Structure 1
Amino acid sequence: MTGNRYGNDLGRLKEAIESADAIVVGAGAGLSTAAGFTYAGERFERLFGDFAAKYGIRDMYSGGFFPFAAPEERWAWWSRHIWCNRYEPAPKDTYGKLLELLDGRDFFVLTTNVDHQFQQAGFPRERLFYTQGDYGLWQCSEPCHDITYDNYAAVKRMVEEQRDMRVPSELVPTCPRCGKPMTMNLRADGTFVEDAGWRAAAARYRAFLEAHETGRVLYLELGVGMNTPIIIKYPFYRRVYENPEAIYACVNYGEAYTAVEIRDRSIVLDADIDAVLGELL
């Protein structure tokens, strides 16, 4: 992107934010990557070098699917993964910049991210919908009931007490009702638990969309790729297409584009999200 075009699009985005009646933020993995939560490279080697050496795992994402032979080893992996991506602070204040940018505006956030960074940055939970789950929650693997469980204390012990890529057997979590293994509350298949908090957030998001079907609505997409486009990207396209006053904005380094049908009401920035937010402020 040339300097002139970038500056022009940045100015258009700033104007769209300031003039919007409402802002719907759609956030994907690229936003957390911009905040420093990289899943490969130096950060992965530093945190998971032992797993990489033993099993040839090359990044955190693929490691989550590795068929560990023992639950003690599986939870050694997952406790580290949860701790560094959910409970430790983000390397950059990217989410804080976004909150500052949205301060005083009518907004709602839909995200496929499961790292809880919006709430860590101070976003009000009543304006958030984590549709794909939360690293900080466990559920029954069966599942025998639709309740999720906070895992902070258990994960902290696992991280502190694991040795040689294994947690003590007594720390392996089991369902308090049926005794089956616990698992992550992440949407991977039909066993994902949509608990009371999830359903309430979904209802609030639907209500926000219904209240802003018309008017100057900005659909601000940050770091959303094509992994699950039916959750954020395609619905944003459709809502902008159906509302002639709406604007679609996409900020995503290396993967920024729009639909041809709404090109005249789109702002596309192929740039680092953290840098863009800083310049907008």
Structure 2
Amino acid sequence: MKDSYQTRLEKSKKAMEEAEYILLGGGAGLSAAAGITYSGKRFTDHFSEFIAKYRFKDLYTSSFYPFETEEEKWAYWAKHISLNRYEIDATKLYMDLFQLVKEKNYFVISTNVESQFEKGGFPSDKVFEIQGNYSYLQCEKGCHNKLYYNESLVKEMIDKTVECKIPSNLVPKCPICGGEMDVNLRKNQYFVQDEKWYESDELYKNFLQDSEGKQVVYMELGVGFNTPGIIRYPFERMTYHNERATLIRFNKDHPEGFKETQDKTIAFTEDIQGVITALMR
């Protein structure tokens, strides 16, 4: 961070131009920068009834609330899923990221679950959503590894929600064991990794293997410390072990990294959209 903003921009442009491979790692800060925020006006405008009833503070902590009934749980989750997955189109930031790297040999690993990379233009075989996706339901106990697309069900749940509850006949049940269903998000040991998940995992591993020792840029985009072992620490480690690697970190709160990789790291605390726009010029 000792370099000026302009110097960091120029270094980043040069690194990306010379890169043989670019690996993007997307975290919650990226979607927040794109406007998909979990608190503030966006939250209060859409969840006023739930805030009044349950005293919710934001969309993150409310997702851990222990609802007493499945009817209440799914009234909440239907709105949560719809707002973040179905009601929002591709955002400018994600579309710009695609334009920035589309001519390069790239891959994306993301802990985000709202499909913005694919909406922004990234092909599905170039994106690994390792933590799940709002679009799918799974057996709550993971009794089998099939996922179920939920868009029409979510819409019906919202249309028929009354006083923060859905009708009992809309509560989803596992077609195999008859038990409860859950959103396909990694939050416990029952998270379902379906066939597509394993295919994406293999594509990611192949990309890492192919790029090992090559001229690589690791773009770490809004990755915090909720799950640093998925993107942040591996990117640091791969940068350390590859003398030809550059780590470009976008993080307004935690730009600092390992001291061993400081000379190969370009950090931005500035607005991600602004930096990406500048890199595209």
TM-score (normalised: structure 2):
0.97
1:133 maps to 2:138:
no
Alpha-carbon separation, structure 2, partners of 1:5 and 1:160: 52
Where structure 1 has 5 or more consecutive residues not aligned to the other structure, the ranges are: none
Is the 2:247–2:266 Cα contact (8 Å) retained in structure 1? Answer: yes
- What is aligned with 1:211? 210
Contact 1:36 1:90 in 2 (8 A): no
For residues 30 and 261 of structure 1, the distance between their equivalents in structure 2, rounded to whole angstroms, comes to: 24
Match of 1:28 in 2: 27
Q: Give the Å deviation of 1:212.
A: 0.6
The C-alpha deviation readout for 1:105-126, integer Å capped at 9, x for no partner, is: 1000001111111111121011
Residue by residue, what CA displacement relative to the aligned partner does 1:121-169 show, whole Å, maximum 9, x if unpaired? 1210111111100011110012211111111111111122212111111
TM-score, structure 1 as length reference: 0.97
Root mean square deviation, CA, Å: 1.3
- CA–CA distance in 2 between the matches of 1:136 and 1:267? 35
Aligned-partner Cα distance in 1 for 2:171–2:157? 9
1:213-251 Cα shifts (integer Å, max 9, x gaps): 012100110000011111001111111111100111101
- Residue by residue, what CA displacement relative to the aligned partner does 1:28-73 show, whole Å, maximum 9, x if unpaired? 0000001101101111000111111111111001111111111111
1:36 and 1:91 in contact (8 A); partners too: no
* Partner in structure 2 of residue 152 of structure 1: 151
Tell me what 2:189 maps to: 190
Runs of 4 or more above 6 Å deviation: none
Aligned residue number for residue 100 of structure 1: 99
Gapped regions of structure 2 (runs ≥ 5): none
Percent identity over the alignment?
42
Partner of 1:248: helix, strand, or coil?
A: strand
Aligned to 2:220: 221
Supply the distance in 2 between the matched residues of 1:17 and 1:255 (Cα, whole angstroms). 22
Could you tell me how far apart the structure 2 residues matched to 1:177 and 1:71 are? Answer: 18
Q: Give the equivalent residue in structure 1 for 2:254.
A: 255
Instruction: Report deviation, 1:90.
Output: 4.7
Q: What SS class does the counterpart of residue 183 from structure 2 fall into?
A: strand
Which residue is 2:173 aligned to? 174
- Alignment check: 8 A CA contact 1:75 1:167 kept: yes
Q: Which residue of 1 aligns with 2:41?
A: 42
Whether the aligned pair in 1 keeps the contact of 2:90 and 2:119 (CA below 8 Å) is no
Partner of 1:116: 115
Aligned length: 280
Q: Distance in 1 between matches of 2:91 and 2:191?
A: 31
CA contact (8 A) 1:258 1:268 kept: no
Cα distance between partner residues in 2 of 1:143 and 1:244: 42
Return the letter of the residue paired with 1:254. D
Q: What does the per-residue CA deviation read over 1:172-210, in whole Å, with 9 as the maximum and x for residues that have no partner?
A: 101011110100111111111110000000000000000
Report the counterpart of residue 16 of structure 2 in structure 1.
17
Q: Counterpart of 1:157 in structure 2: which amino acid? A: E
What is the letter of the counterpart of residue 134 of structure 2?
Y
2-structure distance, mates of 1:71, 1:171: 10
